[in-house]
Structure 1
Amino acid sequence: MIFASICKRMQMQTIESYSMTNLETIAKLAGVHPATVSRILNGEENYKRPAYAKRARKIRELARQLGYKPNAAARAIAKKRFGAIALLQHVCRNRSYLPQCLLDGILNATEQAGYSLHIGRVDDQQLADEEFVPNLLRNWNWDGLLVNVAVEPGPRLHQLLTHHHVPAVWLNVKHDHDCVYPDDFRAASELTSRLLADGFRRLYYLGLGYHSPVQHYSKADRCAGYQKAMHEAGLEAIVFTPDSEKKLHDILDSTLTRDHSNGKKAAWIGYSKLEIEILLQRGVGQLGLNVPNEFCLATFGDDERLPPFCSYYMQAPRMELGQQGVKMLLKKISAASQMLPAKALRWQLRYRTGTP
């Protein structure tokens, strides 16, 4: 359907003539059929016999010397594919998280599949305009869309994708289908269970309620995963989500001081490295406590190495997220109307030897 409308707007004879003239020139000089040249230059032939491999090298060298450039439009029409996927980002950094490992995963998978990658952006004000259509949808030159908008800007984006019949897969978002995301609930449950197995019986969970107004599924899931493991162990789940900096400092100072006075070594699970930094500032900087001898720290993140002072750490599957997102999208491209089941990815536990 997409290609039918494109073909009507293109001067097909000019396109075909431009490509075939170059192919025929190379084929004539190499003494082969133009179709052979086309297969070799498109990477569709992998010759193992020395004579054929030598001929393929000759054809590629002729193409290079003649400055031959494949006509992407003609190739797209012939294959009924543009050979590209698009990545949609939000203009706000806290709405689209794209660390290098995630981008590497996306690029590795697209290149392996023989696709290229386009990137576009969108913001809430644009989507609030009923007449607005993102550039990626107005200038459609790709086969499928990866949506890396972690906190959705209302129903408008979904409506646009549905209206334009876009084969799309969402990253880092929990839907019933067509999405790939890190399993934060399981990660928090496994992290808590490991701390319990290592002998900790007093475990706190800290998440900042005032730091960011943007609510991502991971905030609820990490807390719920911690609570599940604590309840299964028959222990009290103690969750701190202060809504102001003053309340945060009061909670940390009183809790850390009480545990230290009672001689109890507790473990703190922070939603992110920000919570860990604040714990260090209050526990070590203000109260003079020692980590990890007097209290232990655990958190979540992307780095391959454990953060300083953290004894336990859950590493996010960011590269796998990109790879699996592309893999699912390629299936959607082949059958756009098919709804694919959501895929949850497991985190990796890292810890310092000798802990606790």
Structure 2
Amino acid sequence: MSVTLKEIAAEAGVSIYTVSRVLNGKNKEAYQPAVKRAEKIRSVARRLGFIPNASARAMRISGATKVIGLLVPDVHYATIIDFETMLGLNSRLETHGYLLTLVRSTEVSKTGDDLPDNIEDTDEDQWLIDHPSPVFQERMLDGMVVMGLIPPVMCQLVSRITPACLWLDTNIKEAQNNLRRDEFEAGKLLGKQMLRRGYRKIIAVLPTYPEEPVRHYSFSERVRGVESVIKATDVEFQEAFLEFEDFTVAPLMAPLRDQLAPDVAILAATDRVAFALLVEMAALGIRPGVDVGIAACDRTRQTQSHWPDLACVAVERFELGIQAADMIVSIIKSPRHACKSKTIKWGWHEGNTLPAVTK
């Protein structure tokens, strides 16, 4: 239970006003009695376990809380990819003098259980927008960074409640307040590498997630990028999907196994897909980079540590967080709460799993 100024005042035998001034550093201690009184108040505060409210103090001084929220999907599985970006975001915000706090998407609006019984299905989304959660409204945030796959209705609500908002790697694409990776370019880069190395067929392995039919923009953009490169060629292109529930590759590999060859390349949509494929291929005695080519549309620190030889496109997730921090601070300071959107480019990690096809 938190300690109040009233409790400290009663223990120290002074007024609440005096306690407030001392603990906020505004007390004049020009003579000895005032010094002793201040020392007593601080001593009582320490003994009772009083913790100053930095946000409230900042609000009184500058009108700002110096706290920024990071809105993330409320799912049971969080990838290490997101964590890398969070670390970069938090690290940079500290240098700007801000604190970062996580906000789950379920904290933004009232739940479906609160919907009126007589409401029409078509009006449900609008009702949720018009009835934000008190928990969310009472958060004292200077701004919000929205990251990942957030439902469209939730995005509308956040835009309405939080003027200073940055859309980080979401399905929102605007000319302002938007930071995302160029996933189309990532697909093109991977497609060009496979085409240049002489592969006659590309099999794209993509995951399915419980958010279907809403999907993160990266999947369709990566596929579109590959297709744009090979459309004028005779290279075959095929899509295969992993089920989210167990993420096992065995049912997928059974029909694909006979198609694999040294001149066939597997495009793993994410590094998690690549790892799942690697495990199953090892069990079947299929050698990546020898019996079949394989490359991933992503690279994380986990990939770097456990499979450094995997050929893949790469982007610095930590750097993505740093740029996001700079942008949200710029948005907060802007009178119009706006800054120009940015797109992050990809690089190529060579590895040894996508060799040139031997004729």
- TM exceeding 0.5: yes
**TM-score, normalised with respect to structure 1:** 0.69
Return the letter of the residue paired with 1:86.
G
Gaps of 5+ in 2: 1-15, 32-41, 116-126, 244-248
Aligned to 1:152, the other structure's residue is in SS state coil
- CA distance, structure 1, for counterparts of residue 64 and residue 227 of structure 2: 48
Aligned partners of 2:140, 2:178: CA distance in 1, in Å?
22
Which residue in 2 is equivalent to 1:196?
Answer: 195
Q: Which residue of 1 aligns with 2:350?
A: 351
TM-score, reference length from structure 2: 0.69
Q: Does 1:248 align with 2:252?
A: yes
Partner of 1:109: 92
Q: Is the 8 A contact 1:168 1:178 kept in 2?
A: yes
**Cα–Cα, structure 1 residues 355 and 347, in superposed 2: closer, same or farther, change >3 Å?**
same
Deviation at 1:345, TM superposition (A): 1.2
Report if the CA contact (8 A) 2:81-2:300 is conserved.
no
Residue 78 of structure 1 and its aligned partner are, at CA, apart by 2.7
Q: Distance in 2 between matches of 1:25 and 1:125?
A: 42
Q: Distance in 1 between matches of 2:58 and 2:156?
A: 31
For 2:227, the equivalent position in structure 1 comes to 227
Residues 111-150 of structure 1: CA deviation (Å, up to 9, x unaligned): 01011122221339845443742355321322101112x2
Corresponding residue SS for 1:141: coil
- Give 1:158's aligned residue: 155
Please say if 1:293 is aligned against 2:290.
Answer: yes
> Following TM superposition, by how much is the alpha carbon of 1:95 offset from its aligned partner in structure 2, in angstroms?
8.1
Equivalent of 2:205, from 187, 204, 207? 207
What percent identity do the matched residue pairs reach? Answer: 18
Secondary structure of 1:208's match? strand
Deviations along 1:269-302, whole A, 9 cap, x unmatched? 111234434544554433x333322222111232
For residues 25 and 75 of structure 1, the distance between their equivalents in structure 2, rounded to whole angstroms, comes to 17
Work out which of the residue numbers 158, 166, 177 in structure 2 matches 1:169: 166
The C-alpha deviation readout for 1:312-351, integer Å capped at 9, x for no partner, is 0223432122222222111221236344333221233222
Q: CA 1:204 to 1:135, structure 2 compared with 1: closer, same or farther past 3 Å?
A: farther
Unaligned runs of 5+ in 1: 1-13, 30-62
Q: Which residue of 2 aligns with 1:90?
A: 73
Structure 1 residue aligned with 2:10: none
Amino acid at match of 2:229: A
Q: CA–CA distance in 2 between the matches of 1:84 and 1:27?
A: 31
Paired with 1:355 and 1:204, the residues of 2 have a C-alpha distance of 12
- The CA distance in 2 between the partners of 1:277 and 1:170, in whole Å, is 29
**Which residue does 1:23 correspond to in 2?**
25
Partner of 2:141: 142
Which range moved further: 179-188 or 333-342? 333-342
1:127 and 1:349, CA in 2 relative to 1: closer, same or farther beyond 3 A?
A: farther
SS in structure 1 at match of 2:206: coil
The letter for the 1-side match of 2:100 is L
Question: How many aligned positions are there?
Answer: 300
Measured on the aligned residues, the alpha-carbon RMSD in Å equals 3.8
Q: Is the 8 A contact 1:87 1:119 kept in 2?
A: yes
Aligned-partner Cα distance in 2 for 1:353–1:336: 50
Q: Secondary structure at the match of 1:28?
A: coil
Q: Relative to 1, partners in 2 of residues 1:141 and 1:311: Cα closer, same or farther, differing over 3 Å?
A: closer
Measure the CA separation in 1 of the matches of 2:257 and 2:353.
27
Amino acid at match of 2:341: A
Residue aligning to 1:302: 300
Corresponding residue for residue 51 of structure 1: none
Paired residue secondary structure (1:204): strand
Whether contact under 8 Å (1:306, 1:313) holds in the other structure is: no
Q: In 1, Cα distance between the equivalents of 2:195 and 2:17?
A: 67
Describe the shift of the 1:247–1:290 C-alpha distance in structure 2 as closer, same or farther (beyond 3 A).
closer
> Contact (CA 8 Å) 1:291, 1:309: kept in 2 or not?
no
Mark the CA change 1:307 to 1:140 in structure 2 (over 3 Å): closer, same or farther.
same
Q: Indicate if the aligned counterparts of 2:208 and 2:242 stay in contact, CA closer than 8 A.
A: yes
Confirm or deny that 1:78 pairs with 2:76: no
